[in-house]
Structures are given as structure tokens and as C-alpha cells.
């Protein structure tokens, strides 16, 4: 997994490449960014380059080949076991890190979801971060920076990974064999996550017509059905985020229609979108896009889904 496989993350990749070239890598890094934007790919590329004799990872030496299949004996991967990363996992890691590297100049570990260390595991990891074994490279990944213990965070060099531009995701989907229209729609709904866009092979599963209908019937004078709708949407956080992504895409199309553009993405339900465009003002539509985006970001930051959706649906109805 060489650096050339990382898409659209030039800034953090440059920082890491320069650190390798100058021989001044930090002991610990914290990569922050949404799911599926390239944190893990970058971490693997970084370790591969650090392990390989040639500066950016040659891809062909025995070490690089072992990295490609994640079978390298000096690489240790940690991810949550159930909801949390547990103390036993950190103890295993510590035992591993104090051993001499087997095939390379250093040992490396990648810890996924560093915001999900339980308190005991977090404190144990802190000890290692405070007194790192001389030849260890630690990379922590998180989608939720606020959830990472401040003491852990302060001992890592933070690198931020931006959501990927739609254009890049679309290109990748087309390269992966999707037709242009499907790629465009999926890219617009992916929220900057290539991983998510690639995952959704079967395309969009949200009932877009149903969502528009719900939007049309929301009413502040019928709060019982409004809260029932919020409850239903909030039952599954992942699904709620997906619905909000789709909703954003629909409202953006409505805005395009209102502005006289024909670059609509959800072209297959154009008449429904046109109805919606005729029903409300451009200003009001913009407000709704902002509310929806805010709610989606709140869910990404782990806000309570039920509260978030109660507030959102009231705002959309008002």
C-alpha cells in the first residue's frame, strides 16, 4: 500500500514524507477525519515506507510485500473488540512494542477508533505514549477527535484528513467500473467518504420519494406525527445519517431547479423535485439545507440522534 494509493490527502501525506526523509518522525501520530477518507490507507503507506529501505516504500521488497497483505511481523493492528478497545489489547500491544523488531528497524502499530479506548485502556496506552519504547511508531486513527482522551491527544502529533472532494470520489467510482450517472449520484451522497461510496454497491437504498413526501407533510400543528417520524429516523444512527445525506442531495437539487440549472443529480424523480421547488422559496430552501447539514454534522460528532432529529424536523416543518 504505497503512498501513491492515497487519494486526495496531499497535506498529511507531505508532512509524513518529509518526516521520513529528514529522519524526524514523531513517536506517535493521531490521524483525524471522517470514515473512509484515507486515514488507514495513509497509515499503512507510512508504515510501509518507514519499514522499507527505499524512501517511499518500493512495493516489491519482502517487507513491502508483507505489508501489502498485512502479514508483517513488526506491524501490530488494534481495533475495538466490541464497543471498546480493552485493556488486555493495550497490554498485548505493550508486550509487543518492547520486543526488538524482527525484520525492520522499528516496530509499528495502528490503533483504529482511538476514541473508543475504555478508560483503563486509555490510561495504559498513556504510559506507552509518555515513555515510548525507542523504536516504536504509533499511529492512532479517529473519526471523533472530541472522544479521544485529552492526555492521549496531547502526546500525539495531530494530522487532519479532510473529507474528499466529490469530483475525486466520482473519478474513483468510474475507475471502479460504475457508470457516470451512478458514480455522480453516489459521490454526491458520500459526504466526502470514498470508503462509503465504494461500500454502497447496490446504490442508494433510501426511499427518496418517501423522504420528500415526509418533508412535505411535516407540520408544527401535528407534533405527534413529527416526533414519531423523528423517533423512527433516529432508531439507527447510521441509517439516520444516510437519510440526512440523501435529504441534503434532494434539497440541493431543489435549489438548482429554483436557480434554473439543469445539473440535477436525482434526475429520475425530477417531477417530485419540481413540485418541491415550486412549493417554497429559495431562501427557505437554503435554510433547510443548512439545518440538515448541521444535523448531519452533529450526528457525525456523536450527538444524541433522537434530540438531533426532533430539532431538525421541527426546523424543517417551521
Which DSSP string corresponds to 158-215?
A: EEE-PPPPHHHHHHHHHHTT--HHHHHHHHHHSTT-HHHHHH-TT---S-HHHHHHHH
SS3 31: strand
Kindly tell me which residue out of 58, 174, 204, 303 binds Zn ion, with binding defined by CB under 5 A.
58
With CB under 5 A as the contact rule, which of the stretches 31-39, 57-65, 93-101, 144-152 interacts with Zn ion? 57-65
Q: Is 44 in the site for Zn ion (CB under 5 A)?
A: no
| Residue at grid coordinates 522499507 | 52
- Least gap, CB of 250 to Zn ion (angstroms): 47
- Least gap, CB of 252 to Zn ion (angstroms): 44
Q: By C-alpha distance, which of 202, 295, 199 is closest to 247?
A: 295
Which of 71/221 has CB closer to Zn ion?
71
Which of 16/277 has CB closer to Zn ion?
16
- Least gap, CB of 311 to Zn ion (angstroms): 52
How many residues does the structure list for the chain? Answer: 318
With CB under 5 A as the contact rule, which of the stretches 8-16, 51-59, 212-220, 306-314 interacts with Zn ion? 51-59
Which of 58/182 has CB closer to Zn ion?
58
- Least gap, CB of 50 to Zn ion (angstroms): 11
SS3 29: strand
Kindly tell me which residue out of 26, 61, 145, 269 binds Zn ion, with binding defined by CB under 5 A.
61
Helix or strand (DSSP H, E) at 30: strand 28-32
Q: Is 64 in the site for Zn ion (CB under 5 A)?
A: yes
Which of 20/124 has CB closer to Zn ion?
20
CA distance 165 to 118: 34
- Least gap, CB of 59 to Zn ion (angstroms): 6
Which of 49/272 has CB closer to Zn ion?
49
CA angle 312, 315, 318 (to 5 degrees): 150
Which of 46/161 has CB closer to Zn ion?
46
Kindly tell me which residue out of 43, 44, 52, 241 binds Zn ion, with binding defined by CB under 5 A.
52
Q: Is 233 in the site for Zn ion (CB under 5 A)?
A: no
Which of 43/257 has CB closer to Zn ion?
43
Contact 33, 79 (CB under 8 A): no
CA distance 197 to 294: 21
User: Within 10 A of 120 (CB to CB), how many other CB atoms are there?
Assistant: 13
Contact 187, 178 (CB under 8 A): no
- Least gap, CB of 135 to Zn ion (angstroms): 18
Distance separating the N- and C-terminal Cα atoms of the chain: 50
Which of 58/314 has CB closer to Zn ion?
58
CA distance 38 to 173: 15
Which of 49/121 has CB closer to Zn ion?
49
Contacts of 176 (CB under 8 A, 6+ apart): 198
- Least gap, CB of 63 to Zn ion (angstroms): 5
- Least gap, CB of 68 to Zn ion (angstroms): 10
Count residues binding Zn ion (CB under 5 A).
4
With CB under 5 A as the contact rule, which of the stretches 52-60, 85-93, 151-159, 307-315 interacts with Zn ion? 52-60
Contact 215, 316 (CB under 8 A): yes
Give the binding site for Zn ion (CB under 5 A): 52, 58, 61, 64
Amino acid at each position: 500500500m504505497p503512498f501513491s494509493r492515497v487519494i486526495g490527502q496531499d497535506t498529511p501525506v507531505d508532512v509524513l514524507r518529509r518526516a521520513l526523509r529528514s529522519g524526524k518522525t514523531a513517536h506517535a501520530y493521531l490521524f483525524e477525519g471522517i470514515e473512509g477518507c484515507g486515514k488507514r490507507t495513509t497509515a499503512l503507506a507510512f508504515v510501509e515506507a518507514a519499514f522499507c529501505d527505499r524512501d517511499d516504500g518500493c512495493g516489491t521488497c519482502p517487507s513491502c510485500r508483507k505489508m501489502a497483505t498485512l502479514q508483517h511481523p513488526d506491524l501490530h493492528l488494534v481495533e475495538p473488540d466490541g464497543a471498546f478497545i480493552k485493556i488486555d489489547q493495550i497490554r498485548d500491544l505493550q508486550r509487543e512494542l518492547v520486543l526488538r523488531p524482527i525484520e525492520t528497524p522499528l516496530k509499528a502499530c495502528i490503533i483504529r477508533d482511538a476514541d473508543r479506548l475504555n478508560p483503563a485502556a486509555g490510561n495504559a496506552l498513556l504510559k506507552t505514549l509518555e515513555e515510548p519504547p525507542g523504536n516504536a511508531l504509533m499511529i492512532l486513527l479517529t473519526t471523533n477527535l472530541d472522544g479521544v482522551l485529552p492526555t492521549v491527544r496531547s502526546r500525539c502529533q495531530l494530522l487532519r484528513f479532510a473529507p474528499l472532494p466529490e469530483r475525486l470520489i466520482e473519478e474513483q467510482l468510474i475507475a471502479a467500473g460504475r457508470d457516470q450517472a451512478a458514480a455522480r449520484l453516489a459521490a454526491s451522497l458520500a459526504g466526502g467518504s470514498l470508503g462509503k461510496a465504494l461500500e454502497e454497491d447496490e446504490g442508494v437504498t433510501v426511499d427518496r420519494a418517501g423522504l420528500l413526501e415526509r418533508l412535505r407533510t411535516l407540520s408544527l400543528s401535528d407534533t405527534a406525527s413529527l416526533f414519531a417520524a423523528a423517533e423512527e429516523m433516529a432508531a439507527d444512527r447510521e441509517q439516520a445519517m444516510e437519510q440526512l445525506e440523501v435529504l441534503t442531495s434532494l434539497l440541493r437539487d431543489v435549489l438548482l431547479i429554483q436557480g434554473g440549472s439543469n445539473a440535477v443529480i436525482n434526475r429520475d424523480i425530477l417531477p417530485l423535485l419540481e413540485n418541491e421547488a415550486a412549493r417554497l422559496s429559495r431562501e427557505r430552501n437554503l435554510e433547510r439545507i443548512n439545518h440538515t447539514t448541521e444535523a448531519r454534522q452533529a450526528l457525525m460528532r456523536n450527538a444524541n440522534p433522537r434530540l438531533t432529529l426532533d430539532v431538525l424536523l421541527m426546523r424543517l416543518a417551521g
